[in-house]
Amino acid sequence: MSDKSMKTATKIVSLGREKKYSKGVINPPVFRASTVVFDTLDDMRHAAKHKHEGELFYGRRGTPTHFGFQAAIAGLEGGAGTALYPSGAAAISAALLAFLKAGDHLLMVDSVYEPTRDLCNKLLANYGIETTYYDPLIGEGIQALIRPNTKVLFVESPGSITMEVQDVPTLARIAHEHGMVVILDNTWASPINSRPFELGVDISIQAATKYIVGHSDVMIGTATANAAHWDKLREHSYLLGQTTSPDDVYLAARGLRTLGVRMAQHEKNALAVANWLAARPEVDHLRHPAFPSCPGHAFFKRDFTASNGLFSFVLKDGSSDAMQAFVEGMDHFKMGFSWGGFESLILWVNGIQNIRSATTWDSSKPLIRVHIGLEDPEDLIADLEQGFARYNQLMGR
Ligand SMILES: *Cc1c(COP(=O)(O)O)cnc(C)c1O
C-alpha cells in the first residue's frame, strides 16, 4: 500500500507501524542500542551499505523504534526523509548549519520563535553567517533583500506570538530563482494541517515536543527534507552527533497515533473560545489565523486545511497590575511556554518590540497568547470571564 492511496487520518494511524518496525506488535517497541554486532564481515559490509535503508549499523544511526517514527513523519509531511533531534531547537540549528557556512547570508522572518533569533544573533553571527530579518508579510519584496551570498530563506508560518501568516509559495519561488534553500518551521501546522513541500519548501521542521508528543512530557524535534536536500541534511545531522532516546521516540510515536482527533478537538475548542473573545469589549483584535483580523489570513485560507489550539489576542489597553491579575488567578489556564499538550495555557507576552527588528509592535496594547486544551470550552470561557472581571476591577471599570 503506497502512502498516496491513504487519507491523512489513515496515515496517522498506519505509517511506520509496518512489521519491519513493529516486529508484529501494534506499537514499534523501545529498541535500545549502542553496539550492533555482526557474525561475519559480509554481514557488517551489508549493514554498512544499507545503513540508510533501515539496516541496524550503529546506535547513533537509530534503531527500528527511530526508523518507524521517521517513516511516519516523512510520510505525513510528504518529504523524502526525516532526521530526529533531541528538541525542536536542535532540529532548527542542525538544519541551518547544514546549509550555511562562513560568509553566507541568511534571510530570517522577523516573527520567528525567539530561540531561533537568539541562535542567529548569538551563534551563527560568531561563525561568520550574517542574518537579515524580514517582515513576515513582505511577499514579493523579499527580492530586494537577496544578495549574491544569500543561501537560506527561513520561514515560520504563522509566526510565534504575533501569528502573521506568510505567503510561503511566493517566498519559496523567489528564493529558488536565486538557488536558495527554503527552511520552514512547520510546528504550528503539525504534519497534518499543511502540505509544506507542495508550498515549495525544501526542509520542514517540527518541534514534535508540541502536538506530535501531545502530552507535554517529551522534548523531540524532526527535520524532513525533499529528495534534493535529504542526503545533506542527514549527513550533517550525523556529523553533529544528533541522536534521540528510543524511549522518547516511542512516546512521540504513541502520541502521533491520536494527532488527528486531538487536533480536531483543539481547533473546535479554540474557535469556541476565540469567538467568545472576539465579542469582548476589552479585546482589540484576535491574532488567530482563521480570523480575518490576523495578518496573512488569506494565506491561511489558501495554504492550511485547519487551525489548532494556539492563538493570541490583543487588548485595547491594560496596566501591569491588571494584566497580572488577569493571568495569575486562573483555574484551568496555567502559565507556561511549551504548548501542544492536552492542557490549556496562558501567557501575557511583554516586550514583543524587543524581539522584532524589521517590523514594529505597538507595546501599549497587551498581548495574551493562549493554548486551548481539551477541557470543555465552557469551563475555559468561565475562567477567562473571571480573568476579565479581575482585570476590569483593577482598570477601575
Ligand atoms: C517550541 C517551538 C520550538 C522549539 O521546540 P523545542 O522542542 O522546545 O526545542 C521551535 N519552533 C516553534 C515554532 C516552537 O513553538
Structural domain ending residue among the three candidates 236, 256, 276: 256
Cβ of 340 closer than 6 Å to ligand 1, yes or no, is no
- Note down the domain range covering 263: 259-394
Rg, Å, the chain Cα set: 22
Here the CATH number for the domain that contains residue 214 is: 3.40.640.10
Question: If you measure from the C-alpha of residue 20 to the centroid of ligand 1, how many angstroms do you get, rounded to a whole number?
Answer: 31
Question: Looking at 11, 210, 234, 390, which residue is catalytic?
Answer: 210
What's the DSSP call for residue 132? E
Question: If you measure from the C-alpha of residue 255 to the centroid of ligand 1, how many angstroms do you get, rounded to a whole number?
Answer: 17
Residue 291 counted as domain residue: yes
Tally of CB atoms within 10 A around 48: 12
Cβ of 89 closer than 6 Å to ligand 1, yes or no, is yes
Average pLDDT over residues 163-171: 98
Name the residue of 157, 160, 210, 216 to mutate for ligand 1: max ligand atoms within 8 A of Cβ. Answer: 210
**What does 318-369 look like in DSSP terms, one character per residue?**
--HHHHHHHHHT-SSPEE-S---SSS-EEEEE--GGGG-SSS---TTS-EEE
Residue 119 counted as domain residue: yes
- The answer to whether residues 62 and 209 touch, using CB atoms and an 8 Å cutoff, is no
For the cut 60, the answer to whether the pLDDT of residue 1 exceeds it is no
Strands in 221-225's sheet, in edge-to-edge order, are 81-85, 221-225, 203-206, 181-185, 150-156, 105-109, 130-134
- Residue 233: partners with Cβ closer than 8 Å, 6 or more residues away: 81, 83, 94, 95, 98, 203, 223, 225
The total of structural domains in the chain comes to 2
Residues 368-380 have pLDDT tens digits of: 999 999 999 999 9
State yes or no: is 210 an active-site residue: yes
Question: If you measure from the C-alpha of residue 115 to the centroid of ligand 1, how many angstroms do you get, rounded to a whole number?
Answer: 8
Residue 1 counted as domain residue: no
Q: Are residues 74 and 140 both part of a single domain?
A: yes
Q: Are residues 234 and 297 both part of a single domain?
A: no
Q: How many CA atoms lie within 13 A of 21 on its CB side?
A: 24
Cβ of 160 closer than 6 Å to ligand 1, yes or no, is yes
Nearest ligand 1 atom, CA 208: 7
Here the CATH number for the domain that contains residue 365 is: 3.90.1150.10
State yes or no: is 369 an active-site residue: no
Average pLDDT over residues 169-196: 98
Residues 36-62 have pLDDT tens digits of: 999 999 999 999 999 999 999 999 999
Residues 264-318 have pLDDT tens digits of: 999 999 999 999 999 999 999 999 999 999 999 999 999 999 999 999 999 999 9
Nearest ligand 1 atom, CA 91: 9
State yes or no: is 185 an active-site residue: yes
User: Whole-angstrom Cα distance, residue 379 to residue 384?
Assistant: 9
Q: Which three cell numbers stand for residue 153?
A: 530563506
Q: Are residues 238 and 297 both part of a single domain?
A: no
- The answer to whether residues 59 and 36 touch, using CB atoms and an 8 Å cutoff, is yes
- The answer to whether residues 384 and 377 touch, using CB atoms and an 8 Å cutoff, is no
